[in-house]
């Protein structure tokens, strides 16, 4: 039996496949322009298919965008919250994978432990999608690359600067830099540096990735500046605000970037912490385009996983 098309991390998928998913996301978005949100796409690509969406933590964008993605593709979603099941506790993850594979056509999971995602994929006979783990967030990155290219054209050879915590989003940006061929600058405190495994991978494949503690220098000439919340669920907030204060994205930092530079934030945001309201609501901000593109990019991911694109 052929292995399912899992979507686990960007460094595990071929460059051609990732390019195809981005292009397909843009195409499916354009094809339904002007239609009511609940209207099924003309080709109803996933009619008769069902996605099991597992949430071990609360979610707004991931939950609604995956649910609407399946509806627009003509399929259905079964949402499973942490209180609905005992993943890895009352039942092994392997057994959960085997059982769900008999009921549904694909599984999306949002969890803290990346190992749960990997074990689920190892034993599932249907595609498994990484909806977010503590290690990475590849679906958000597909929406971000799609958003960048809608505003500025091909991301290849462009410069993207991250300012803030070297978290799971940074890992996926590092993977994206290697796969899509752009320069990625990470400005972060030394104690919150990116995952060393991601940096090792970048070095191995020759990705253009740089890490610095100087956010102003990293912003110089960038085509895109990206920020994320400083304190995520489960983080210890103590001391984070002090050490991350020099990495706040404000109008002065944006002025150092390229003249047509855009600002991204995957949301939710704490305004006046990681970025000022003036930047978030300013003319260079594309944060709500990013949020919308979660829907379209994930539709393309689902179509690729299930072989309908």
Annotated binding-site positions for carbamoyl phosphate: 59-62, 86, 110, 137-140, 266-267, 294
Q: How far apart are the C-alpha atoms of 183 and 157, rounded to whole Å?
A: 6
Q: Which of 9, 24, 72, 140 is catalytic?
A: 140
Residue 137 annotated in active site: yes
Counted residue by residue, the chain has a size of 309
- Using CA atoms, how far residue 251 sits from 12, 82, 218, 260, in Å, is 37, 41, 15, 14
Residue 294 known to be catalytic: yes
**Exactly one of 224, 228, 284, 303 is catalytic; which is it?**
228
User: Is there a contact between 42 and 28 (Cβ–Cβ < 8 Å)?
Assistant: no
Contact indicator for 285, 261 with CB cutoff of 8 Å: no
- Token duo for residue 172: 């996926």
Indicate if 298 belongs to the active site: no
How far apart are the C-alpha atoms of 272 and 262, rounded to whole Å? 18
Q: Does the CA dihedral 189-136-184-148 come out positive or negative?
A: negative
Q: Pick the catalytic residue from 49, 175, 265, 294.
A: 294
Please give the annotated binding residues, written as ranges: 59-62, 86, 110, 137-140, 168, 228, 232-233, 266-267, 294
- Residue 235 bears catalytic tag: no
Active-site choice (137, 175, 265, 303): 137
Catalytic residue among 266, 284, 303, 305: 266
Active-site residue (options: 6, 63, 110, 248)? 110
First to last CA, the chain: 21
13's enclosing H/E stretch is none
State which H helix or E strand residue 264 sits in.
strand 262-265
Tokens coding 126: 């249907």
Annotated binding residues for L-ornithine: 168, 228, 232-233
Looking at the annotation, which residues are catalytic?
Answer: 110, 137, 140, 228, 266, 294
């Amino acid at each position: 039996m052929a292995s399912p098309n899992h979507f686990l991390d960007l460094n595990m998928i071929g460059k051609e496949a990732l390019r195809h998913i981005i292009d397909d996301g843009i195409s499916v978005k354009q094809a339904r322009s002007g239609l009511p949100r609940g209207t099924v796409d003309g080709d109803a690509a996933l009619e008769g298919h069902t996605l099991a969406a597992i949430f071990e933590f609360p979610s707004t964008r991931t939950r609604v965008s995956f649910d609407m993605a399946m509806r627009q593709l003509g399929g259905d979603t079964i949402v499973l919250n942490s209180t609905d099941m005992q993943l890895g506790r009352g039942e092994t993850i392997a057994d959960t994978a085997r059982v769900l594979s008999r009921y549904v056509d694909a599984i999306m999971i949002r969890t803290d432990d990346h190992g749960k995602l990997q074990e689920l994929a190892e034993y599932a006979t249907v595609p498994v999608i990484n909806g977010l783990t503590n290690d990475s967030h590849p679906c958000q990155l597909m929406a971000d690359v799609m958003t960048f290219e809608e505003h500025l054209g091909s991301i290849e050879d462009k410069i993207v600067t991250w300012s803030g915590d070297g978290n799971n989003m940074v890992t996926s940006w590092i993977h994206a830099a290697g796969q899509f061929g752009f320069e990625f600058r990470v400005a972060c405190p030394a104690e919150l540096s990116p995952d060393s495994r991601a940096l090792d991978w970048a070095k191995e494949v020759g990705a253009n990735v740089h890490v610095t503690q100087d956010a102003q220098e990293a912003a110089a000439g960038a085509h895109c500046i990206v920020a994320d919340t400083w304190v995520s669920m489960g983080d210890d907030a103590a001391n984070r605000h002090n050490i991350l204060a020099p990495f706040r994205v404000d109008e002065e930092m944006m002025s150092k970037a390229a003249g047509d530079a855009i600002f991204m934030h995957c949301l939710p945001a704490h305004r006046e912490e990681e970025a000022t309201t003036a930047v978030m609501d300013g003319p260079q901000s594309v944060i709500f385009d990013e949020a919308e593109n979660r829907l379209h990019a994930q539709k393309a991911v689902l179509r690729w996983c299930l072989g309908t694109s």
